Structure 1
Amino acid sequence: MKKITIAIDGFSSTGKSTLAKQLAKTLGYVYVDTGAMYRAVTYFIMQNNWITPTKIDKLAIVKNLDKINLHFQFNEQLGYAEMYLNNKNVEKQIRTLEVSQNVSRIAEISEIRAKLVQQQQEMGKNKAIVMDGRDIGTVVFPNADVKLFMTASAETRAQRRFNELVENGQRVSFAEVLENVQQRDYIDTHREDSPLVKAEDAIVIDNSVLTKEEQFKVVLQIVNKHL
């Protein structure tokens, strides 16, 4: 069976990572969560106080990019790889609402995008990979064999994100989660460097009313056609 590259793009909280993990596990492929990479960089920046609600110290960030070391480490108990920042597991820390509120602003910085895109392309040079993010099918792997673009209503995505945060013990309101989803949508689609857009040859998956199982069945049929 030939090896292919699967690129999954789309809006925040559309279940890209969940779908990518399912596909990677079924196909025996490598899964790369590029969103986790941007979140880890954002967390590092927050820890160093280089970002506030009104200001970003871009000079300090760019100057210290070489101090950021990222890698994924497979967790057998969970069945997927977790994000490590400078050899420390930060999977839980990067999934907070505070990081979510800053990650799209950090992802706008061209120097950060260049650094991470280079790493992502290196990870996928041998194919047999499922990668999800915002610019995978347009920038990272423009020649990917399968390109998917995930979408759902903002309210549906906010409810999913709200449930996830509450389950993880965070005290948040639905209103602030919805506002965050809408803000991220605007920033992601309006940034100058690699904005979130659907690749011309990407297949749109609107999962507003689909269960995870229904969605996976539809996507697996698409992938199998290319295999």
Structure 2
Amino acid sequence: MRHFLIAIDGPAGSGKSTVAKLVAERLGMNYLDTGAMYRAVALYLHSKNLSPSDDLSNELDHIDLCYKDGELYINGARVSEQIRSAQAGKLASDFAVNPAVRSRLTQLQRDICKDGKFVVEGRDIGTVVLPNAQVKIFLTASFDERVRRRLKELQEKGIHLTFEEIANQIRLRDEQDSKRSLAPMKPAEDALVIDTTGKNIDQVVEEICQIALRRMDCENNRC
């Protein structure tokens, strides 16, 4: 099978980035982090003193995003580290409500995935970007669990925020992502919802891999 897509959506701290990377590795597929693309574009536009309410069409036409050896580049500049800041996450949500931004990035993501096998994670992959993905997963977890995970992730990167500071950031991000009028974050109608609270990474990865392998087998046998 030359073309197979797994869409993994979910809120911040649900574990989708880590899980998606490991699923891709286990199944020998490519991994695409669409959230990183939004963060990169948001930081770039912000650096140009542009805001989400501006007409961004012309600037977006001249943006080139690519991955090289696992690193994300925008117009030739590596941005893999800068996009992991709290500011980048907030800017990504702010700019994501701009129709031109969503349209441009949706098209870029579809272009990347039009051939080959990809595990793609984000917030609207199964509903908007890749509605025909063979497997659609929506990961979730309790709010406190998601805050603890993000706290641990940031501490490992040398970023020290309090539990309450991170809780406020995730609460705001959830509200922005789920209540926006354009491509709100929600499970696709045919997505499998997996609550990762109390589960370790290996358990979640194994569950998704088994779902994907069954679907691959079904596709190969045209069932």
Match of 1:71 in 2: 66
Show CA shifts across 1:79-106 (max 9, x none).
Answer: xx22111111111100011112221111
Q: 1:105 maps to what in 2?
A: 94
CA drift of 1:165 comes to 1.2
Aligned residue identity for 2:127: T
State the shift of 1:2 in Å. 6.0
Q: Distance in 2 between matches of 1:143 and 1:100?
A: 27
**Is residue 124 of structure 1 aligned with residue 127 of structure 2?**
no
1:58 equivalent to 2:47? Answer no
* TM norm structure 1: 0.90
Q: Is the counterpart of residue 211 in structure 1 residue 206 in structure 2?
A: no
CA RMSD of aligned residues (A): 1.5
Q: Partner residue of 2:44? A: 44
Structure 1: gaps (5+ residues): 75-80
Task: Give the letter for the 1:35 counterpart.
Answer: G
One-letter identity of the residue aligned with 1:107: A
Can you give the 5+ residue segments of structure 2 that lack an aligned partner in the other structure? 217-223
Secondary structure of the 2:148 match is: helix
1:36 Cα deviation (Å)?
A: 0.4
Query: How far did 1:50 drift?
Result: 2.7
CA positional deviation for 1:57: 4.7
Normalising by structure 2, we get a TM-score of 0.91
Deviation readout 1:154-207 (Å, 9 max, x if unpaired): 221111111111221123222111111011111101111111111111000110
Structural mapping, 1:147-226, within 5 Å: 147-226=136-215
Percent sequence identity over matched residues?
39
CA distance in structure 2 between the aligned counterparts of 1:42 and 1:156, rounded to whole angstroms: 27
Q: 1:34 aligns to what?
A: 34
Runs of 4+ in structure 1 displaced over 4 angstroms?
none
Take 1:163 and 1:183, find their aligned partners in 2: how far apart are those partners? Answer: 19
Q: Distance in 2 between matches of 1:99 and 1:4?
A: 31
| 2:111 match: secondary structure | helix
Where do residues 4-43 of structure 1 align in structure 2 (5 Å cutoff)? Answer: 4-43=4-43
State the Cα distance separating 1:42 from its structure 2 match: 1.2
Q: Distance in 2 between matches of 1:96 and 1:149?
A: 24
How far did residue 30 of structure 1 move? 1.4
CA shift in 2, pair 1:86/1:13, >3 Å: same
Aligned partners of 1:136 and 1:166: how far apart in 2?
29
